[in-house]
Amino acid sequence: MAMSCDHPDLLPLEVALQRLWDALPAPALPDVRAERDDPATDRAAMDGVALRADEGRAPRRVLGTLFAGDDPSAFKVTPGTAVRIMTGAALPAGADAILPVEQLRATAGFIHPLADPQTGDHVRVRGDQARAGDLLLPAGMPLNAARVGLLAQEGLPLPLRRRIRVGVASTGDELVPHPAPYQIRDSNGPMLAALAHTLGAKVDLRSALPDDPPALANALRNPGDIRILLTSGGVSMGEHDHLPTVLKDLGATILFHRIRLKPGKPMLAALLGDLLVLGLPGNPASAYLNALLFLSQALARLEGRAAPDPWRRARLTASVKNKGDRPLLHPCRLVDGQLEPLPGKGSADLITLARADACAWIDQGGLDAGVKTRWLPLP
Ligand code: AMP
Ligand code: MG
């Protein structure tokens, strides 16, 4: 039967990614305000001596040493004296400059400046970074490691940095450990578990599920302690592709099903209560690439990070055809920073995917040698 290959209803990749993003809750960063002046006292910014600049190069008697964290009230710098001081230590009263160790000579009990200190030299002045109450970060910013550091600095509650738990379950009656010629091993399960681990998830790899609606429903209804379930297979148009119907029957919200990407047309995402189900296509290259795109997006959102942009750009060393109606992700090797397309056999071809370093984005109609295109590293 002749069928049109055009699928105007397929969702573009960026739209599907955005839809997933919008459907998931993110821990929000509150307004971050300075708890106190930063720094809260004048501080040494170098290892050296704290002294009075107006005495120039006159020798100073050393009163003692201040380390970071020491109470500076133990010392008062009076004319003719100085205090040894380490980076981060509070300035003692009476001192107005730090003379670095590199600019002085020490003799028993004294230091002799080799340069003229200037008022304020190597001193971090109280409040020069921020004043108590200043707005340091407005609410709603995505979390990153530096912002977690700032929350800690201001004594604010820290977001939970637990790894998100991801279950991985393949589907398919053909998946067995010791396959007859008409059966196969479950390669997607271990592959997706490895990928989820690399992307920062805590992974629970389960045994493959049969192509049986009650068994699928049972697995979805009792997912255990996971936030995301990655399935592979059973989302296409075959007579045993039960997952979309089972999800709908369970009352799941289908975020999208079928996207404009090759490989990956049958890709599905759904919310079943709090559980995000990423229904990946069964073909291995398809499962891998869609997990890479959609799981990265979901993890970033749930962790409160900015949306990931995994794309890089490079030139193709040879042309790649794409006669299909969808953009193509084509496996390539990276050679001197350029993309060398591999002769691949499509979405079922795990051998070529395993030989590749990258997948290049090939627009509909194909791309010529020398053209710059975006590509994904394959973690
Ligand atoms: P499906 O979408 O379930 O029709 O699967 C598409 C193709 O991917 C079929 O050839 C399946 O045998 C194959 N496939 C499905 N699941 C896996 C798996 N876990 N490991 C390897 N191949 C699979
Ligand atoms: Mg199947």
How much is the pLDDT for 8? 66
Q: What is the CATH number of the domain that holds 20?
A: 3.40.980.10
Q: What is the CATH number of the domain that holds 57?
A: 2.170.190.11
Which pLDDT tens digit goes with each residue over 268-325? 999 999 999 999 999 999 999 999 999 999 999 999 999 999 999 999 999 999 999 9
Angle at 155 between CA 149 and CA 158, to 5 degrees: 60
Q: Is residue 90 located within the same domain as residue 55?
A: yes
Which pLDDT tens digit goes with each residue over 94-127? 999 999 999 999 999 999 999 999 999 999 999 9
Q: Residue 4 domain-assigned?
A: no
Pocket test of ligand 1: the residue of 232, 240, 288 to mutate, having most ligand atoms within 8 Å of its CB, is 232
Determine if ligand 1 sits within 6 Å of the CB of residue 279.
no
For residue 183, give its domain range.
11-27+161-303
Which pLDDT tens digit goes with each residue over 171-180? 999 999 999 9
* Ligand 1, atom 5, residue with closest C-alpha: 282
Q: Is residue 228 located within the same domain as residue 272?
A: yes
Q: Is residue 208 located within the same domain as residue 325?
A: no
Q: Residue 5 domain-assigned?
A: no
Dihedral over Cα of 141, 146, 150, 151: its sign: positive
- Cβ contacts of 370 within 8 Å, gap of 6 or more: 315, 316
Last residue of a domain, one of 285, 303, 321: 303
The amino acid occupying position 278 is L
Q: Residue 1 domain-assigned?
A: no
Q: Is residue 149 located within the same domain as residue 171?
A: no
Running DSSP on this structure, what letter comes out for residue 119? T
Determine if ligand 1 sits within 6 Å of the CB of residue 281.
yes
Q: Is residue 166 located within the same domain as residue 264?
A: yes
Q: Is residue 371 located within the same domain as residue 266?
A: no
Q: Is residue 285 located within the same domain as residue 337?
A: no
Which pLDDT tens digit goes with each residue over 121-146? 999 999 999 999 999 999 999 999 99
- Measured N-to-C along each axis, helices 284-302 and 13-23 cross at an angle, to the nearest 10 degrees, of 40
Q: Residue 220 domain-assigned?
A: yes
Q: Residue 368 domain-assigned?
A: yes
Task: Give me the number of domains the chain comprises.
Answer: 4
Determine if ligand 1 sits within 6 Å of the CB of residue 347.
no
* Ligand 1, atom 15, residue with closest C-alpha: 282
Determine if ligand 1 sits within 6 Å of the CB of residue 338.
no
Residues paired with residue 373 on neighbouring β-strands, in sequence order: 314
How much is the pLDDT for 7? 64
Determine if ligand 1 sits within 6 Å of the CB of residue 174.
yes
Last residue of a domain, one of 279, 303, 327: 303
Determine if ligand 1 sits within 6 Å of the CB of residue 186.
yes
Q: Is residue 280 located within the same domain as residue 373?
A: no
Q: Is the pLDDT at 344 greater than 90, yes or no? A: no
d(CA 171, CA 242): 10
Residues paired with residue 341 on neighbouring β-strands, in sequence order: 332
Neighbours of 162 (CB within 10 A): 8
* Ligand 1, atom 14, residue with closest C-alpha: 282
